[in-house]
Structure 1
Amino acid sequence: MADTPSTVSVTPNQHDLPPASVNSDQPTQVKPKPRPTTPKGPPLHQIYALPAPIRTFPLPAFYPSNPLSLFHVVYAWVSQLVSPPPAEPAVIHQGTWSPETRSVHIKDPKSIRALWEQGFFGKGNYSRSEPNWLKREQARRGEHDGHVAEAVTAQRREERKMMKWDRARKEQEAIERTRQLEAWKAPVGPAELLALPNSWHDLKPIYPNGSANGTLVRTPILNSTRNVSEATNAVSNGIPISVDTAVSKTSTEITTTEKETIAVASGINGHSSRPQTPTNPPKRRKSVRFSPKVESTTFQLSDPPSPHHGALTNGTAINGSVSNGISPLVRPTDLGLSQPVFENETIAKPNSQVEPEPEPELVDKEHLQLCPEEAFYLVFVLGVLSVFDPATGKPMTVADLFALCRQVSYMPPKKIDLQPDDPFLIHYAVYHHFRSLGWVTRPGIKFGVDWMLYNRGPVFSHAEFAVIVLPAYTDPWWKAQGRQPPRKSWHWLHTMNRVQATALKTLVLAYVDVPPPFEEGLGAAEIFKRYRVREFIVKRWLSNRNRD
């Protein structure tokens, strides 16, 4: 009568499952790190309360539906008649024209802060935008705990990077956990049951000779590569190794190769033991030998060690060349050698502390740079700036500054045969247009455009619009001359629009209608009255977003 094979059913428990599958339904909650507290200064709306470097005293609004507002208007008008406000501008800032940079430099710290905080004029030459180089250097030296815009931006970027890294790590852990769950199979055979955790194969020898219960167990000893391969095949096929069938060896030691082979062969059902690095690896000593010849760049094995030649070049002062394959700037201590004593050096005692050299006194060398359009707007419209000529040291008049800005708008500068479509006239017309409408207008070279429009300023929000200035010769005089505007392709337009859409900005095409040539001697006010600015907004049409 044949024996009926018995079926063994095994229910996986917590010890049988892979380690990563334990409590897989309960994600680990990581508490967010508290953001370091930074000293809070005055609110931004108090620092940048004035939109321009002048004070205005308008009368209050009158509402016909509210007759009491008329008394408020009368009271404000009478009070200004009795005690008139001071004449504006109360403060006139001073700047110097720079022919090298074609800009106006403001070096007075008070004028720099006033022009930046009251209208966001100019740019710091050592800073990205706001002239805060001195404050950043003081914070770096630890002189104060004030925070600057660049430090806050760097902190936010670091937090965002760590958040993305943590999210990616959790996703990888979830994927690895799912893979282990899918790859795990319940053991069905006797050999697989013996290979489960807590079996005889996984127990570590806590007693002599590998006995787990205090009794001595004979360990199978292999004496040849043939026996090792046979044992490997036997274990991999599910056949346990018998102690009696193992061939003993004259020596009681097993080589490292045999141990690794047995360890690899004992891995069944994914429970193979990982190779371990030996605790005491053999020490290897390295020696560096230099050639006794200073002019040689190679060395022989018979040359004696000479660390002095590696520290200096040609036996003299350091000149930046490389001798014997080692940079002369590298000290002998960096190479693991003993520190040589030179004539001009003294040996410091171990207990003595070398005092660090004091840093030089911090001097603010940053100045504010005003582009020609900004400088002319402050001089011509607001009257709060006086530009000095570096050659004569005298302040320029409005006419002199106007002519100078027109000349330097060409490359190279052009002093004669100026046209109504000068680059300065066209760009300033657009700058004046948006400034008069209340927009904070700043150069937009960072995004490949002419001007950027901010609602209140760069410290409050990002720019909403990106403006490209294009001349338009719509006057009949230009048509009779056959003058055409510069040709722009559709590829260029789509490229500019895509860049601004990626930066979450709206592209604006500002067309400036150029007037016909005017007579010489006209002032800036009469000239700019003849220019007209037309705005066109370009948006990218998307079928899934612009259905309505």
Structure 2
Amino acid sequence: MADTPSIVSTIPNLHNTSSTSVNSDPSPQVKPKPRSAVPKGPPLHQIYALPAPIRTFPLPTFYPSNPLSLFHVVYAWVSQLVSPPPTEPTIIHQGVWSAETRSVHIKDPKSIRALWEQGFFGKGNYSRSEPNWLKREQARRGEHNGHVAEAVTVQRREERKLMKWDRARKEQEAIERTRQQEAWVAPVGPAELLALPNSQHDLKPIYPNGSTSESLERIPTINKTTNGAANGVSLSSDTVTTKDADRSTTAEKEIAAASSGMNGHSPRPHTPTNPPKRRKSVRFSPKVESTTFQLFDPPSPHHGVLLNGNTPNGSVSNGVSPLARPIDLGLSQPALESETTAKTNSESELELVDKEHLQLCPEEAFYLVFALGALSILDPATGRPITALDLFALFRQVSYIPPRTIDLQPDDPFLIHYAVYHHFRSLGWVTRPGIKFGVDWMLYNRGPVFSHAEFAIIVLPAYTDPWWRTQGRQPPRRSWHWLHTINRVQATALKTLVLAYVDIPPPFEEGLGAAEVLKRYRVREFIVRRWLSNRNRD
């Protein structure tokens, strides 16, 4: 701890800089289903109480206005002098260098949890961030009822997807109701036909026998002279009685023809005596999946479809209007019982072994070895610990692509990135890789389990020393398009972009220790914000 270098910064701590937050207005239409009651464990501030894998024993604060605080300081100092606390770090974790992945692997489960809970170092190789693959597998097999961050994220995304689907379904229902209300139903009954504003002159071409409105009223009761007047044949009452059904059918067809003529359309010719033509029918197998989709159907929230074309909840997913869809939006989806039972039995027979290890990038590993002394890295070939000096040279060599063993420069990638990492770690920030957001580092106030990252760091070398001017060395040119692209991504993710310029010293002799080398570097911070005229007028 005594040989830890101090990297000078020209700008004060970033803790006073506030970040912009956006309050999302959730839709009041659908309320998410209450989550299942999960037994809560210890609070987060107790699990992640230590910001680093070492413990400190500071003296109490002295208040000049309170004389009793002086006695408190003296008592604490005397007690530590009489019974000094144990030397730190009390536990030194073991890691193995991997040349293939260019990272350090931690395989001891206790060391993995300790390094993650005490500073959020590393990343699980089977996990998104926190090394909890074993816990996820145990929860999936039903061995415990605990929850993990990935499962909670999947559940929240599913609830959000179901909420959007239900909102789209309600919108389609409202549109369908509006269409039904605005739809005009043509009149088909005799009374409705007589109520239309048509004269007797308009009705004569339709009824050549000169029938009047009185005859139209008697059509449902089957007048004896309706068809006979047109053909010049008189019918008796017996004939009317025996052929009552045929004449009623003919009367209904004449009413339909009259209604089409009165609406401004010519009646269609029909031949009721001819038998209807037979149609060919094709019978498909019930195993064929339906491929008919309605354009107004909202997207189905369940992507998994069974072999018979049905959704897991039993409703047909194709060719059904949103009004006929079930409104059961439960998260549980019943699966095939036979396959699930067989899979569960096969998994229960196999013993679950934790295969996950923690991966440390070179900057994190060197900080634990050099600055804190809480890690020892072993050489995979010999099995012996690598010294801090050899580790410093090794990380500088592998930072080039391809790795080089000679002609190392003061601006090699490891040196400038580690200078920024050590700088922000010494200020109390939780520094983690930011490749997900297209930057070099992400800064967390307390850690990723408490809040999102507040700042995104871009590392840029600065050749401000006069020796570089004589050599004509210039930093890599960055365009405004590049800066605007990076800043737009961070503004969308509600993060503040920080440009960290590292002043590169002139070349130094080989063989110097890490402390002597890092003292020559300086870090300068510049915050970049988007300026919007409609938001920054005052």
One fold, TM greater than 0.5? Answer: yes
Corresponding position: 1:467 with 2:457: yes
Aligned to 1:362: 352
Aligned to 1:101: 101
Corresponding position: 1:50 with 2:40: no
Aligned to 2:111: 111
Select the residue among 481, 500, 524 that pairs with 2:514.
524
Q: Return the offset for 1:172.
A: 3.0
Q: Return the offset for 1:283.
A: 4.9
Amino-acid identity (%)? 79
Contact 2:188–2:256 (Cα < 8 Å) also in 1: no
What is the correspondence of 1:38-437 to structure 2 with a 5 Å cutoff?
A: 38-183=38-183, 190-191=191-192, 219=245, 233-237=257-261, 283=283, 356-357=345-346, 358-437=348-427
CA change 1:359–1:516 in 2 (3 A) is: same
* More RCO (CA 8 Å, sep 6+): 2
**One-letter code of the match for 1:159?**
E
CA distance in structure 1 between the partners assigned to 2:426 and 2:243 by the alignment: 97
Q: Secondary structure at the match of 1:419?
A: coil
Select the residue among 471, 480, 495 that pairs with 1:481.
471
Aligned to 2:437: 447
Contact 1:223–1:248 (Cα < 8 Å) also in 2: no
Q: Return the offset for 1:458.
A: 0.9
The Cα offsets for residues 392-447 of structure 1, whole Å up to 9 and x where unpaired, read as 11101110100000000001111111111111000000000000111110011111
**One-letter code of the match for 1:95?**
G
Q: Return the offset for 1:169.
A: 2.4
Q: Return the offset for 1:173.
A: 2.9
Corresponding position: 1:490 with 2:480: yes
CA change 1:424–1:33 in 2 (3 A) is: closer
Contact 2:30–2:163 (Cα < 8 Å) also in 1: no
Q: Secondary structure at the match of 2:456?
A: strand
CA change 1:218–1:485 in 2 (3 A) is: farther
Q: Return the offset for 1:359.
A: 3.7
Aligned length: 406
Contact 1:187–1:193 (Cα < 8 Å) also in 2: no
Contact 1:191–1:238 (Cα < 8 Å) also in 2: no
Contact 1:39–1:147 (Cα < 8 Å) also in 2: no
Contact 1:222–1:247 (Cα < 8 Å) also in 2: no
Aligned to 1:537: 527
Q: Secondary structure at the match of 2:425?
A: helix
**One-letter code of the match for 1:508?**
V
CA distance in structure 2 between the partners assigned to 1:62 and 1:220 by the alignment: 112
The Cα offsets for residues 14-68 of structure 1, whole Å up to 9 and x where unpaired, read as xxxxxxxxxxxxxx98775332222322211111111100000001111112222
**One-letter code of the match for 2:457?**
V
CA change 1:163–1:83 in 2 (3 A) is: same
CA change 1:435–1:255 in 2 (3 A) is: same
Q: Secondary structure at the match of 1:414?
A: coil
CA change 1:177–1:522 in 2 (3 A) is: same
Contact 1:134–1:364 (Cα < 8 Å) also in 2: yes
Aligned to 2:24: none
Aligned to 2:296: none
CA change 1:173–1:148 in 2 (3 A) is: same
The Cα offsets for residues 436-484 of structure 1, whole Å up to 9 and x where unpaired, read as 1111100111111100111111111111111110000000111111110
CA distance in structure 2 between the partners assigned to 1:516 and 1:178 by the alignment: 76
Aligned to 1:300: none
CA distance in structure 2 between the partners assigned to 1:236 and 1:148 by the alignment: 69
Q: Return the offset for 1:181.
A: 3.9
Contact 1:220–1:248 (Cα < 8 Å) also in 2: no
**One-letter code of the match for 1:400?**
D
CA distance in structure 2 between the partners assigned to 1:391 and 1:193 by the alignment: 103
Q: Return the offset for 1:80.
A: 0.9
CA distance in structure 1 between the partners assigned to 2:477 and 2:30 by the alignment: 58
The Cα offsets for residues 465-518 of structure 1, whole Å up to 9 and x where unpaired, read as 111100000001111111100000011000111111111111111000001111
CA distance in structure 2 between the partners assigned to 1:537 and 1:58 by the alignment: 33
Q: Return the offset for 1:193.
A: 9.6
Q: Secondary structure at the match of 1:55?
A: coil
Q: Return the offset for 1:229.
A: 8.7
Q: Which stretch of the first structure deviates more once superposed, 434-443 or 538-547?
A: 538-547
Q: Return the offset for 1:387.
A: 0.3
Contact 1:223–1:249 (Cα < 8 Å) also in 2: no
Gapped regions of structure 1 (runs ≥ 5): 1-27, 196-215, 240-245, 258-280, 288-352
Structure with the higher helix share, 1 or 2: 2
Aligned to 1:7: none
Q: Return the offset for 1:282.
A: 7.2
**One-letter code of the match for 1:118?**
Q
CA change 1:125–1:221 in 2 (3 A) is: farther
Q: Secondary structure at the match of 1:494?
A: helix
Aligned to 1:347: none
Q: Which stretch of the first structure deviates more once superposed, 515-524 or 152-161?
A: 515-524
The Cα offsets for residues 294-348 of structure 1, whole Å up to 9 and x where unpaired, read as xxxxxxxxxxxxxxxxxxxxxxxxxxxxxxxxxxxxxxxxxxxxxxxxxxxxxxx
Q: Secondary structure at the match of 2:499?
A: strand
Contact 1:407–1:414 (Cα < 8 Å) also in 2: yes
**One-letter code of the match for 1:82?**
V
CA change 1:411–1:217 in 2 (3 A) is: farther
Root-mean-square deviation (Å): 3.6
Contact 2:53–2:118 (Cα < 8 Å) also in 1: yes
Aligned to 1:269: none
CA distance in structure 2 between the partners assigned to 1:43 and 1:90 by the alignment: 25
